[in-house]
Each structure stands twice: as structure tokens, then as C-alpha cells.
Homo-oligomer: A and B are copies of this chain.
Amino acid sequence: MINVAVLGYGTVGSGVVEVIETNKALLNQRVGQELNVKYILDLRDFPGDPYENKVVHDFETIVNDSEINVICEVMGGVGAAYAFTKQALEKGISVCTSNKELVAKHGAELLELAKANKCSYLFEASVGGGIPIIRPLNTALTAEKIEAIIGILNGTTNYMLTKMEREGADYAEVLKEAQEKGYAERNPEADVEGHDACRKIAIVSSLMMGKNVDSEKIVTEGITKVTAADFVYAKAADSSIKLLAQSKAVGDGEVLAMVAPFMIGKEHPLAMVNDVFNAVFVTGNMLGDSMYYGKGAGKLPTASAVVADVVDCAKSLGTSLPCFWEKEEVKLADVAEVEWKYFLRVSADAKEAVEAAFPGGEMITVAERTEDFGYITTVMKEKDFAAKCAGLGDKVLSKIRLA
């Protein structure tokens, strides 16, 4: 029997128990023995819950029980979750987690600890919820040198942008609706400012490079400045606007990592990723492009990913599943030197100024908007673009990079 402890009986934790119960027969077959939830750690009691007798309030009970083989850390945060994970790994107990904050911050260290103690630290659920993306990077694409990863990694903002695109609604309006529906939190900052996507791209970038990418150094812009008017021009240019988290191996072991809204053509596979769905677009040196698409969040998809990790741990007790992510820091490329095209929305009275500042670009006009116009520049560096925009002052109403 494989004994499992679940840390945190919230949304994901109760999902983990539900997945193990619902798919019991199938899981036992795949593990080769019975999977048993022995403990659930939570500060609260759950009278009447079918698993109330498994609830304990003290982590020591779990970590000192020699029958425990695998721990699911689905508490979140970097305080107690970090301490408990370290304690477990030090005892040789494998840990599976959905905690992106902890993985982004201490992934390399915890993997080292797991290796030293012949157990595993797995985190499939930390990026893209139920989309298998960590596993492809670790095993399926094992023959590949990964050159670039572009992801839609946050369901809340993708839901909001999809709404804005389809309904012509403005940012504040869709945020309010997303909050009412429970898709956005009352304090939506982590989602709308791009921090959540930033942590996730830090994790996949670290796996891509085999070294640590510091999430705090990744240039991160959210979606708060995207307007309904921008979508009018995006549509005229047969494009969509998505919050993309990008990571690209450049130059001499450096990585260009960035989170920001981008305009992408409707032909790009990421353009059709709508609502709360997420997707990760991966370019390998042999395989070319591939994409992984699914539900990026939610109780059961996330729990399913945690349980898939539990099965892997259960099948390899006493060994450490390999994951290449060294503590050494990866140097991040200077974004100021990066080149792309840019979309501008500009006050109607500045046509000549824009064409003079950005010669050779493409004007986009639409019948329903006379107060402004859209303009797509030629390819240029971020720093040159910024300097020219500064010269146009408040005539520039919006600017969005083209992916």
C-alpha cells in the first residue's frame, strides 16, 4: 500500500482526494498497489466530511509516520509550505505540489534536497494546472534542445481578454464580471498584473535552461492598460490580443523572458486559446513547434496533475526522478535590446508625426473610430521604440508588442 498525506484541504486538496477516490481502480492498477489517503493536514475540522477521521492538525504526525510515502503539498505560500516540504524531503518522503510560488522561488534547492535523499519533488500542477507541460519538458521532449516557449499561462486574464474581444467590453467592466463569477479574486493584482504568469514562465524557463531563472528579474506587464479600442484595431488587423509569457534562449546561455500583452495573428495556434483555457507553445531544435492546451486551473484539473505526480513517485520509491534545474542563475537578456514590431493607437491629429517617427509602418483605420487610428511599426529595438514614443508624448494612447 502507498500511503499519501494531503497538506491543505481546500479546493485543490479536496480535489486530490476526489480524484484518488473516483479513479481508485485505475490508479491502483497503474501504481501496482493500493493508493491510500492516510492523512489530511488542515487547521480546521471537517465534521460530517467522509474523510473527517483522516484530518490532523499537526505536521509532525505526518512526517514522523514511517508509513507515509508521498506528500501532496497543496497549501500554497512560501512559509509553512516551504518548511514542511524541506522536512519531508529530508526524511526521504517524495513531495508533489501545485504551489507555483514555492517552486518558482525554491525549486532548484528543493530538487537538490530530493536528489540527496533519494526521493522526488514533482510539480506538474504548478504550471498550467491540468495541462501536462512539465512532463513533456522533462521526458517527452527529452531528445530536444528547447529554443523557445510561449504560453498563455493565466486563465483569469485570458477569460477577461476573450470577453473584451468578443463583446467589445472594456477592462473595468470585464474585471467586475470576472470577480462576480469567481474567476478573478477581489484583489486581482496577482493575475491582472501578470505576476502569476511570471512565476509559471520562471519555472518552465528554468527547466528549459537547466538552471535557475529568477522570477523577480522577469520584465512583467499586465493587462490593465488594454482597452476595448485596441481590440477594434486588432480585429481589423486579423489579430487577437493575449497576455503571453515568453522565454527564448538567446546568445551565450542567456534567456529572454517576459510577460506582457501581445498582438498575435489569428493564424497562430495561440490565438484560438480562449476563455479560461491555457496553452504552452514549445519550439525545439529538431521537432519544430508543438503545443499543449487545456484547463490551466480549477479543482479537478489541478488535482489530476498532482495525482499523476503521486503515481510517478509511487512507482519509483527509493529513487529520485531526475529533473535538470541547477541553482546557478541564468543571465536574463536585456529587454531594451530586443526587436519586434509594435502596435500603436494614436490620437487622430498625429498621423504625420507618427509616420515621420516610424517610417515604413502600416496604418490601420476603421470606420467606427475617428478619434484615433492604429499603426504597426517595422521591426525595431525596445529602446529605440521607447525613445520615439516619448517624442510623441500623450498622442500615443496605447502600445502593444506584436508576437
Q: In the bound complex, do residue A124 and residue B140 qualify as a contact, i.e. CB atoms below 8 Å apart?
A: yes
User: Given A26-B145, A285-B22, A290 and B132 touching (CB < 8 A)?
Assistant: yes
Contact digits for A187-224, partner B, Cβ 8 Å, 1 yes 0 no: 00000000000000000000000000000000000000
Q: In the bound complex, do residue B288 and residue A143 qualify as a contact, i.e. CB atoms below 8 Å apart?
A: no
Q: In the bound complex, do residue B293 and residue A269 qualify as a contact, i.e. CB atoms below 8 Å apart?
A: yes
Contact digits for A295-332, partner B, Cβ 8 Å, 1 yes 0 no: 10010110111011011100100000010100000000
Q: What's the Cα separation between A18 and B143 when bound, in Å?
A: 11
Whether A13 sits at the interface, judged by CB under 8 Å, is no
Whether A294 sits at the interface, judged by CB under 8 Å, is yes
Q: In the bound complex, do residue B27 and residue A143 qualify as a contact, i.e. CB atoms below 8 Å apart?
A: yes
User: Given A140-B308, A143-B307, A22 and B286 touching (CB < 8 A)?
Assistant: yes
Contact of A289 among B23, B287, B294 (CB under 8 A): B294
Q: What's the Cα separation between A312 and B143 when bound, in Å?
A: 10
Contacts of A324 in B (CB 8 A): 29-30
Contacts of A293 in B (CB 8 A): 269, 290-293
Whether A131 sits at the interface, judged by CB under 8 Å, is yes
8 A Cβ contacts from A1-55 to B:
18-19, 22-23, 26-27, 29-30, 32
Whether A80 sits at the interface, judged by CB under 8 Å, is no
Q: In the bound complex, do residue B286 and residue A23 qualify as a contact, i.e. CB atoms below 8 Å apart?
A: yes
Q: For chain A, give the interface size range.
A: 35 or more
CB distance from A15 to the nearest CB of B (A): 8
Query: What is the copy number of this chain in the assembly?
Result: 2
Q: In the bound complex, do residue A292 and residue B292 qualify as a contact, i.e. CB atoms below 8 Å apart?
A: yes
Q: What's the Cα separation between A396 and B48 when bound, in Å?
A: 61
Q: What's the Cα separation between A124 and B284 when bound, in Å?
A: 17
CB distance from A295 to the nearest CB of B (A): 5
Q: In the bound complex, do residue A311 and residue B135 qualify as a contact, i.e. CB atoms below 8 Å apart?
A: no
Contact of A284 among B139, B142, B304, B312 (CB under 8 A): B304
Whether A253 sits at the interface, judged by CB under 8 Å, is no
Contact of A143 among B269, B286, B291, B308 (CB under 8 A): B308
> Among the interface residues A300, A315, A322, which one has the most CB atoms of the partner chain B within 10 A?
A300
Q: What's the Cα separation between A312 and B19 when bound, in Å?
A: 27
User: Given A132-B136, A272-B272, A311-B142, A294 and B287 touching (CB < 8 A)?
Assistant: yes
Contacts of A272 in B (CB 8 A): 267, 269, 271-272
Smallest CB gap from A146: residue in B: B26
Q: What's the Cα separation between A300 and B288 when bound, in Å?
A: 9
Whether A392 sits at the interface, judged by CB under 8 Å, is no
Q: What's the Cα separation between A18 and B285 when bound, in Å?
A: 12
Q: In the bound complex, do residue A290 and residue B131 qualify as a contact, i.e. CB atoms below 8 Å apart?
A: yes
Smallest CB gap from A138: residue in B: B30
CB distance from A249 to the nearest CB of B (A): 12
Whether A60 sits at the interface, judged by CB under 8 Å, is no
Q: In the bound complex, do residue A294 and residue B285 qualify as a contact, i.e. CB atoms below 8 Å apart?
A: no
Contact of A308 among B18, B22, B139, B292 (CB under 8 A): B139
CB distance from A294 to the nearest CB of B (A): 3
Q: What's the Cα separation between A289 and B310 when bound, in Å?
A: 21
Whether A144 sits at the interface, judged by CB under 8 Å, is yes
> Among the interface residues A124, A287, A292, which one has the most CB atoms of the partner chain B within 10 A?
A287
Among all A-B residue pairs, the 10 with the closest Cβ atoms: A290-B294, A132-B140, A143-B307, A291-B293, A286-B304, A130-B287, A272-B272, A286-B300, A143-B308, A135-B140
